[in-house]
Structure 1
Amino acid sequence: MLSIVGDILTIHASGVALGELAWVKNSDGTTSLAQVTEIDCERVSLQVFAGGKGLRSDARVSFLGHAAQVLFSDDILGRIFNGVGQPVDGGPELLGHRRVDVGGPSVNPVMRVVPSKMIETKVPMIDVFNCLVESQKIPIFSIAGEPYNELLARIAIQADADVVVFCGLGLIFDEFHFFRDTFENEGVFPRTVMFANRASDPIVERLLAPDLALKVAERFAVEQNKRVLVLMTDMTAFADALKEIGVAMERIPSNRGYMGDLYSQLALRYERACDYRGAGSVTLLAVTTMPGNDVTHPVPDNTGYITEGQFYLHDGMIDPFGSLSRLKQQVIGKVTREDHSAVMNTMIRLFSGARQAEQKQQMAFELSAMDHKLLKFGELFTQRFMRFDVAVPLEEALDLGWQTMAECFEPQELLIREKLLNKYYPAS
């Protein structure tokens, strides 16, 4: 053994692979699981899951000959696992079940299908204005204290998906029990798998948990043709774990203490989202908290280059102006109703006008008749669409959009094609 620095154990070894697991056994008989995190010729660094406290210089390391593995079968549905895939819900051990290797290369582009199907969440600000498309990878940008966990739970309950895989990173006690109790009370556990890394768990598990969740999602999609929705919170905790381990391994930081491979590490996980040719799909929705509400922070900044848009959550609501789904044009008007695009664009234009009318009102400018109509529309829009604690199917939401516009404006004021007005504008 060469050194023990924090949770990092460095030894001389040969014939081992990056990511391989090992048992570290003390002379007093205690054992800890570890994972190879760096190889420099025969100098091998391992991250000890249980921490370096109590490790002795005469400890022996036995390599297992394989990387991390995760259980996969229908029996994992309705179960809760920790960051290394061990059951933590008090249920029976899953002995004799198949294990699959975690990690591996990303999907062959030849096997990817161009996204063309929608996942309905019954959240109007998503379904109407920024559709979630199968195989999309999209973050929820927010700050600490915002109800992003409530939004994730609402999507898990209402989303039109066959399987939901939830991955919690650095969850505090209240957050863990909120998700568990919500899934149980709403009756969605039979189609849900939870991987929960809690704040008190070893930090290396925070790096492994997303890989376990994504591998399980991949197997459900490829082997069982399932439409899988993966929900993660919080990828900033994942990035902070990368930083902490990098510092312990004396790596040179790049930006604000984060390592230079932050982009690659995030992309390695996000790129697992895929619509498989001849099989199912994996769609990834992950919370990214922005320290100080700074979108230029390395974690949201790198995330924005990888993902296909973002949902921007602030003041307890999804912001229609800061949010963007780059794949929504793949489904709007093609798999959704013909008036979807007109309703979306017109309501956003009118809500923007309502914001401008509010500014005029605050500065005591004289308001026109149109300004008063816009203010009324802005109030109704906020009440009926910007809350996410309601369940509104897409077609009902589109009808509600027409009704809201009709309550505030005459048909000719909407600037919508006459064909659509004749068909959808409420007759009353």
Structure 2
Amino acid sequence: MTEALRTLLRSTRVVEIVGDIIRVKAQGVAFGEMAVVENVDGEKSLARVVDLEGDLVSLQVYAGGKGLSTDASVSFLGHPPDVVYSEHILGRIFRGSGEPIDKGPDLSMEPRIPLEGPTVNPVMRVLPTRMIETQVPMIDLFNCLVESQKIPIFSVAGEPYNELLARIGFQADADVVVFGGMGLVFDDFHFFRTAFENHGIFHRTVMFVNQASDPLVERLTIPDMALAVAEKMAVEENKRVLVLLTDMTAYADAMKELGIAQERIPAIRGYMGDLYTQLARRYEKACDFKGAGSVTILSVTTMPGGDVTHPVPDNTGYITEGQFYLHDQVIDPFGSLSRLKQHVIGKATREDHGQIMNTMIRLYAGAVEAEKKQSMAFELSSFDEKLLKFGTLFRKRFMDIRVSLPLIEALDLCWQTLAECFEPDELVMKRDLIDKYYPRTEENA
């Protein structure tokens, strides 16, 4: 009898059930190993080893612990968690257990890959030099999304962050989109699927979805599945892969509940002490591979109560390379940051990009100050009046997240907006750029 078969036949009874965690006594079991839990009624569910204490093994049941009996049996499979991977997964939707939920063709005979592969050799990482155009002006113009970047959208409940994420997904110039949804209500799941289908990218999209009604423990596998597939496509098929994850706070909350069920000692606000490590393990999958493709990660991190010091956004900010700060249905130009934008602005983009970015933000900051003066009934100068006009146009033409513009058109619109509000000498920009791009009319010629 082979070792694999002996492993498969190892079976034991349940000793204890705590929420979605069951404990059994077994020998020769590895951390992270997969198992099948068979209840007394014959119903089966996958489980994963999450803790080892001598011969006492704790397993996380994918379908949840509800309805399980201590008379249930556990059979260990002898391998870590994996996910199906082949050319046929494009255009398919999977749940957190790895099973397809779109009623498409059977994939049970397709090859599978482990979720937790080795980390990338640092020598094979290359410096990011390419931009991913999203056609969202507040991103492309002021905080570019750079290929191989990891960056979150910081938001509060009620903001249209899923709408923004979907728009970036179907407008971005990526080869493949891998979507990971955690704790989604059905309306959000249907919205993402419909958006990808209606905009013609579903055939190059893979979706991994954990709905709010699904078992909580399946939520923890969604980022790993999405990133394992993305990395495989980038390395072996030279694809430029964009990974969309929402919502990483829901993912962290699931980790917290698992830690409580395991009776681990919590750290700040009930989260486990390894929160930073667990988030970093996922985000650090973003990479531009030498001689191959790339993985870019754009996630949503909701801030409970709008608190940016909450443990999840706080730890995320240390790991990622900036953030897009979404509030009041706009991307805030002051709270947002892309630390890698200097690698592409004016290099992979048009020569005037850097000057336009700095000038527009400087003048908008002046517009905000002019609005404060106006609200306090201070006397406004003629330049203040120009700033007020500019501020109104800036919000309407660029800050509204529903606006879609290719980068070149957005740059031209910036020059047009400046020309409508200011004279060339008031811009404080390089003269050669003004001479080349500033729109000339009979009035300002």
Shared fold (TM-score, shorter chain, > 0.5): yes
The answer as to whether partners of 1:138 and 1:308 remain within 8 angstroms in 2 is: yes
Shift of residue 390 of structure 1? Answer: 2.7
> What secondary structure, in the 3-state scheme, does the structure 2 residue paired with 1:67 have?
coil
- 1:158 pairs with one of 143, 146, 171: 171
Moved more, 157-166 or 185-194: 185-194
> What secondary structure, in the 3-state scheme, does the structure 2 residue paired with 1:2 have?
strand
% identical aligned pairs: 70
| Corresponding pairs, count | 428
The answer as to whether partners of 1:21 and 1:35 remain within 8 angstroms in 2 is: yes
Q: Does residue 9 of structure 2 align to residue 4 of structure 1?
A: no
Mapped to 2, the partners of 1:344 and 1:129 lie a distance apart of 6
- List runs of 5+ in structure 2 lacking aligned partners: 1-13
1:241-298: CA deviations, max 9, x gaps? 0001111111110000000000001001000000001100000000000000000000
Letter in 2 for 1:83: G
Shift of residue 336 of structure 1? Answer: 0.7
Q: Does residue 368 of structure 2 align to residue 344 of structure 1?
A: no
What residue in structure 2 maps to residue 76 of structure 1? 89
- 1:390 pairs with one of 383, 403, 406: 403
The answer as to whether partners of 1:106 and 1:268 remain within 8 angstroms in 2 is: no
Instruction: Give runs of aligned pairs for residues 118-133 of structure 1, distance below 5 A.
Output: 118-133=131-146
Shift of residue 44 of structure 1? Answer: 1.1
The answer as to whether partners of 1:24 and 1:31 remain within 8 angstroms in 2 is: yes
1:171-194: CA deviations, max 9, x gaps? 001111111111111111011111
Shift of residue 4 of structure 1? Answer: 1.1
Mapped to 1, the partners of 2:421 and 2:78 lie a distance apart of 68
> What secondary structure, in the 3-state scheme, does the structure 2 residue paired with 1:11 have?
strand
Q: Does residue 238 of structure 2 align to residue 219 of structure 1?
A: no
Q: Does residue 290 of structure 2 align to residue 277 of structure 1?
A: yes
> What secondary structure, in the 3-state scheme, does the structure 1 residue paired with 2:269 have?
coil
Mapped to 1, the partners of 2:167 and 2:285 lie a distance apart of 23
Mapped to 2, the partners of 1:188 and 1:391 lie a distance apart of 17
Instruction: Give runs of aligned pairs for residues 190-229 of structure 1, distance below 5 A.
Output: 190-229=203-242
What residue in structure 1 maps to residue 8 of structure 2? none
> What secondary structure, in the 3-state scheme, does the structure 1 residue paired with 2:260 have?
helix
The answer as to whether partners of 1:333 and 1:340 remain within 8 angstroms in 2 is: yes
Mapped to 1, the partners of 2:226 and 2:27 lie a distance apart of 30
Shift of residue 29 of structure 1? Answer: 1.9
- 1:170 pairs with one of 163, 166, 183: 183
RMSD: 0.9
1:120-145: CA deviations, max 9, x gaps? 00111000000000000000000010
- 1:248 pairs with one of 250, 253, 261: 261
Mapped to 2, the partners of 1:121 and 1:97 lie a distance apart of 33
The answer as to whether partners of 2:82 and 2:115 remain within 8 angstroms in 1 is: yes
What residue in structure 1 maps to residue 123 of structure 2? 110
Mapped to 2, the partners of 1:246 and 1:128 lie a distance apart of 42
Instruction: Give runs of aligned pairs for residues 16-415 of structure 1, distance below 5 A.
Output: 16-415=29-428
Mapped to 2, the partners of 1:417 and 1:119 lie a distance apart of 27
Letter in 1 for 2:281: L
1:326-361: CA deviations, max 9, x gaps? 000000111111110000000000000000000000
Mapped to 1, the partners of 2:277 and 2:292 lie a distance apart of 27
Give the TM-score, by structure 2 length. Answer: 0.95
Mapped to 2, the partners of 1:15 and 1:119 lie a distance apart of 47
Shift of residue 317 of structure 1? Answer: 0.6
The answer as to whether partners of 2:283 and 2:297 remain within 8 angstroms in 1 is: yes
What residue in structure 1 maps to residue 9 of structure 2? none
The answer as to whether partners of 2:21 and 2:58 remain within 8 angstroms in 1 is: yes
